[in-house]
Amino acid sequence: MTGTTLKVALLQETHRGSRDANLDAIETGLREAAAAGAQLVLLQELHNGPYFCQRECVDEFELAESIPGPGTGRIGKLAAELKLVVVASIFEKRAAGLYHNTAVVFDRSAAIAGKYRKMHIPDDPAFYEKFYFTPGDMGFEPIDTSVGRLGVLVCWDQWYPEAARLMALAGAQLLLYPTAIGWDPNDDQAEKDRQREAWVTVQRGHAVANGLPLLACNRTGYEADPSGVGAGIQFWGTSFVAGPQGEFLAKAGTEGRQLLVVEVDLDRSEHVRRIWPFLRDRRIDAYGDLLKRYRD
């Protein structure tokens, strides 16, 4: 990090058939990112394996691993060797019958600097995550690293302004979202376009509303439904970095592996918040009903 400028990287990848193959690809990407001068690298959601939540099957729990474990161990060693801050994403086995979708942060060290357990868990066709993941119990707490305070959230969390706001209120300097989202191949192109644009737009809105840079790293490629019932998912990639006014700093395509590397000026958040003082003008005295499910 030079002054307030931080060079970040997003590694948009496909599932390569096995954990070892995926980790090999991640190692290649981390080495490329380090060679390009990146200091912080964000990986996609559940990068060690397939997106297994297209079906409900107890056999898929065999993909889970402890933290620390083999998957985090390899990434931690690379973070230490390459002097990178790395945000990884693991299917965590916490105990027998207790599993989480967990982001793990390494701070230029093999040791784990912090973790975040996904709070919002979807349950939709092809995204049957409630069968696998217990909702997070660590709250919305940023993770302090040598490059700044990271507000790490995971995929479905990205649709909730409350999550981004709470990270901002706790002093996060960046918002980061490892993600696995894509199209139903049976949808027409207009519906596909609406869904992808909504995904991009809502996250840019979080950047604007909180005056923070935002990083979203998505999977790419087609993954079949193992049950054969569904049409599978075409993950739409489109990983991107936005500035504190929602401006695009970097954006990947919808298909194929891609490494995005871009500089982010962390000092811009201070300047943007001076001209758009959303935190100053919040009516915290009038928001009590947000604690209700719905106002009947």
DSSP-derived secondary structure for 18-33: SHHHHHHHHHHHHHHH
Place of tokens 């056999």: 59
The answer for 189, left when phi > 0, alpha when psi is -120 to 50, beta otherwise, is alpha
Give 65's DSSP letter. B
Give residue 179's identity as a one-letter amino acid code: T
Contact 93, 153 (CB under 8 A): no
Place of tokens 């060693």: 77
From the candidates 45, 65, 129, 223, give the one annotated as an active-site residue: 45
Q: How many CB atoms lie under 10 A from the CB of residue 242?
A: 25
Nearest to 11 by CA among 224, 232, 143, 179: 179
| Residues 102, 90: Cα–Cα separation, whole Å | 5
Q: How many CB atoms lie under 10 A from the CB of residue 229?
A: 10
| Residues 100, 89: Cα–Cα separation, whole Å | 10
- 118 given a catalytic annotation: yes
| Residues 143, 292: Cα–Cα separation, whole Å | 28
From the candidates 13, 53, 155, 223, give the one annotated as an active-site residue: 155
From the candidates 53, 118, 129, 217, give the one annotated as an active-site residue: 118
Which helix (H) or strand (E) element contains residue 150?
strand 148-152
Backbone angles phi, psi at 291, to 5 degrees: -85, 0
Ordered strands of the 233-236 beta sheet: 182-183, 233-236, 220-223
| Residues 13, 221: Cα–Cα separation, whole Å | 8
Give residue 95's identity as a one-letter amino acid code: A
Task: List active site positions.
Answer: 45, 118, 155
